[in-house]
Structure 1
Amino acid sequence: MVVLTTSIQNTPSITELYVFGDSLSDAGTVFRATGGMYPPSPPYFQGRYSNGRVWVEYLADRLHLSSNQVHNFAYGGATTGSDRNFVPGLLTQVQSHVKTHQKTHSNVLYVVWAGANDYLQGASSTTLPVENISRAIASLADVGAQKILVANLPDLGQLPTTRTTVNSVRLSALTQTHNQGLRRSLKISQQHSDIQIATLDANTLYREATANPAAFGFTNVISPCLAGSSCGSPDTFLFWDGIHPTTKAHRILGDTAFAAIQDAGFVNSGSVLPP
């Protein structure tokens, strides 16, 4: 994580939030594109791949941003690259944005989180996904982006849908290699531009929740709440379905993301009210 050396006392607040990624950050993009058909609601919540709001919405709350100040391009099923089966990948999302936004200002926070679908859909090398994320960041930097929050991947081999499959070990290894490559790539990106990068360490957060569920208020971190029918107490589950977290887990992700941008000096901690 990059921490600014200047005093945060004079740090302006975040005035806009732009989000690029996949179903972990999608707050209704696919739902609108499919005329409200997918993901089905119920059991999914109003176009989210969860039982409630997703982490970037909780982050926006912490930043006191209205819906008009949040621009979410994340698309369920997106990979890190360009279009795949008519699904706009991370690069496509970012490239579409920069075509219409040739210049940004310093009070905008950009969120980039993608990669899981590359590996869940069969990618066997981390080189291209990490390169795609780097290219997306470079494209944002070219139009003046200064504050970027990038998330790494949770252990893809330990999701409810992958845990007991033959791909579990391979996916865990790919996750580790991806996160190592991403960390190196972000250091290089930081050195060669004016951008400041904060990291949401989703991998550590998932691992800690799995190792010590009670500390996070969970009683089940193995099985999905939604298995045929919805469970009775979703807030006690880490996972809503075989891949995606519950809104309780999303809230924790949002709070962790807020702490990360505070640590990086993106916001003045004294000017933001508690949740």
Structure 2
Amino acid sequence: MIKTLCVKRSLYSALIGFSFILPSICLADARSELILENNCSTPVEFNVRPRDSSGATIINKKLEPFEYINIGDYTNSEIINYVSTINIDFHSLDSTNDSGSLQYILTNGFTANYADFKNLIGDINIEHQNSDYSYEWHSYTTTLKRRIPIFTVSACKTQIEIRGSKLKDVERILIFGDSLSDYGNLYGYTNGTIPKSIPYNKGMFSNGAVWSDILNNSLKDKIKISNYAVGGATVVFEPSWTDIGLPYTLGTEISSYSVDTGAHDTDKTFAIFFIGANDYLTIDVSQDPSTIPDIAKQVTDKIKVAIQSVKASKTLIIGLPDLSLTPESIEIGNQALLKEVSKLHNEYLKQFADMDDNVDFLSLDEMFNTLINDTDKFNQTYSTNLSPDKIHKSCWLGSYFALNSLLDKKEFYKNLLASNPEIEENDSRQLQLNDMDLNLNVMDKIPLNSDITSAILAAETGTLCANPQEFAFFDKVHPTYQVHKALFKYIASYFGIIS
């Protein structure tokens, strides 16, 4: 009987090279979290009715326009009744008569867990799409930490129209970038270790979907998307002005595209390049300001070469936001340098785009200037609820305690990744876990890049705010879901696919 109960965990352990069975956590355990979101222009009420699932029953939960709430865990940990059905519906509270419903089928399988959202009726979305949605995952990472996906159910769907837009003749979109655009590549490369899910959302560097994931789901069954963006990626390999390099660079992303035979099925391609922040974020405060133009030139020259090598029918370069606005920059005091390098980066790439009819440059300056200087207008324009006094703050409330001297030491981050508070320190499994090269070697391949370390710190230390919808930053570097929703709308408006 014990062997039967442990099949799921034992099989998974074998798959990832474990030589031991986990007796106290071998029971089936399919965990997920749900976000309810109101994208309607009027208040709505949600109902959530779970069957055969541990999770809250919610009746007439009122959400104001553009408000969202995480309603917590919905879990199936049963061996016999291993399929749970959660019925979700909403209705408007005014004469618009907006309504919708769907079923969430949570399956606690033997080799994996499955989330299936089906039977969508009315004006409701799951993960920003109005059609069936499925997701598969294993319960534990290689460091035996739980994987808990977050799913967003939205009232009132965004209308996407391709006809008459810049995408009307496009058959495939190619995305090259870093954590702002990565919707699971680094997560896959590190076997679910970085970024940790939760608090990060299904391998994305935010508490919700990133802009590229919203775009991907919004264009489902319309345009194929190949996303090569990797969290932490730089343009220049091991830039000389920092101590940090990354094996994932724009060059390796281009190489991935080159060998991806499925992505070369059409010449009607639209490439998006949104990269460069990681080359600049760690510029030391002591860096000679006179070197900043050359630094920006080195980075942008490589981006230009990459664009020319892809040979897409059309290319969009998305400019960098002002990197001096990040909590990380404010903390280390390199704002002046980052403000200047952000400006030059954008100037150089805009000049390049202006010389090529097939290349466009999209500046984010107007969008972020509004965010900083007129947050109420930003909220009205992009349907967000950001608080003006939290624009420069991080939702991560972790103190910097006595480990400031450790924050640049790889061993510190390796220990954070390998430690597991769910396993007692003197447990033999923890001793085996600490000795496993599979776990610790992850950090040997991931250097101390702000993109990466901020995500590790937020996931493994300190606490997170209870109201991320009010913050612009989820951790010291990465924007919240609210900002990514706004970024999607901004980019979608450029394409002309939403009004």
- TM-score (ref. length: structure 1): 0.81
More divergent stretch after superposition (32-41 vs 196-205): 196-205
Question: What's the offset of the Cα at 1:104?
Answer: 5.8
User: Aligned equivalents of 1:135 and 1:120: distance in 2?
Assistant: 22
33, 52, 57: which one aligns with 2:189: 33
134, 137, 141: which one aligns with 2:307: 137
What is the one-letter code of the residue matched to 1:110?
A: A
Q: Is the 8 A contact 1:154 1:204 kept in 2?
A: no
1:236 paired residue number: 470
Question: What's the offset of the Cα at 1:150?
Answer: 1.4
What is the one-letter code of the residue matched to 2:270?
A: L
2:255 paired residue number: 95
User: Aligned equivalents of 1:53 and 1:59: distance in 2?
Assistant: 10
Q: Is the 8 A contact 1:155 1:175 kept in 2?
A: yes
Q: Rate the CA distance shift 1:8–1:106 in 2: closer, same or farther, 3 A.
A: farther
User: Aligned equivalents of 2:320 and 2:326: distance in 1?
Assistant: 12
User: Aligned equivalents of 2:200 and 2:173: distance in 1?
Assistant: 24
Equivalent runs, 1:32-71 vs 2, <5 Å: 32-62=188-218, 64-66=219-221, 69-71=224-226
User: Aligned equivalents of 1:248 and 1:170: distance in 2?
Assistant: 27
What is the one-letter code of the residue matched to 1:35?
A: N
Q: Rate the CA distance shift 1:68–1:226 in 2: closer, same or farther, 3 A.
A: farther
1:110 aligned onto 2:271? yes
User: Aligned equivalents of 1:103 and 1:60: distance in 2?
Assistant: 18
What is the one-letter code of the residue matched to 1:218?
A: L
Structure number with the bigger relative contact order (C-alpha 8 A, sep ≥ 6) is: 1
User: Higher strand fraction: Structure 1 or Structure 2?
Assistant: 2
Question: What's the offset of the Cα at 1:25?
Answer: 0.5
2:236 paired residue number: 81
Per-residue Cα deviation, 1:202-223 (whole angstroms, up to 9, x for no partner): 2332221111112223102110
Per-residue Cα deviation, 1:235-273 (whole angstroms, up to 9, x for no partner): 2211111111111110111111111122xxxxxxxxx57
User: Aligned equivalents of 2:220 and 2:264: distance in 1?
Assistant: 21
Equivalent runs, 1:163-178 vs 2, <5 Å: 163-178=330-345
Aligned residue pairs total: 250
User: Any idea what SS the aligned residue of 1:70 has?
Assistant: strand
Q: Is the 8 A contact 1:91 1:133 kept in 2?
A: no
1:218 aligned onto 2:386? yes
178, 182, 194: which one aligns with 2:349: 182
185, 194, 198: which one aligns with 2:360: 198
Q: Rate the CA distance shift 1:162–1:121 in 2: closer, same or farther, 3 A.
A: closer
Question: What's the offset of the Cα at 1:11?
Answer: 7.0
User: Any idea what SS the aligned residue of 1:23 has?
Assistant: coil
What is the one-letter code of the residue matched to 2:313?
A: Q
Question: What's the offset of the Cα at 1:161?
Answer: 1.1
Q: Rate the CA distance shift 1:119–1:85 in 2: closer, same or farther, 3 A.
A: closer
1:72 aligned onto 2:227? yes
Q: Is the 8 A contact 1:106 1:147 kept in 2?
A: no
1:3 paired residue number: none
Query: Unpaired segments of 5 or more residues in structure 2?
Result: 1-162, 239-243, 284-290, 380-384, 399-462
1:266 paired residue number: none
Q: Rate the CA distance shift 1:201–1:37 in 2: closer, same or farther, 3 A.
A: same
Greater Rg over alpha carbons, structure: 2
User: Aligned equivalents of 1:172 and 1:213: distance in 2?
Assistant: 20
Q: Rate the CA distance shift 1:10–1:115 in 2: closer, same or farther, 3 A.
A: closer
Question: What's the offset of the Cα at 1:87?
Answer: 2.6
The runs of at least 4 aligned residues of structure 1 exceeding 6 Å deviation read: none
Q: Rate the CA distance shift 1:128–1:218 in 2: closer, same or farther, 3 A.
A: same
What is the one-letter code of the residue matched to 1:71?
A: S
What is the one-letter code of the residue matched to 2:231?
A: G
Q: Is the 8 A contact 2:233 2:248 kept in 1?
A: yes
1:22 aligned onto 2:183? no
Per-residue Cα deviation, 1:106-159 (whole angstroms, up to 9, x for no partner): 533221111101111339411111101101110111xxx112221111111111
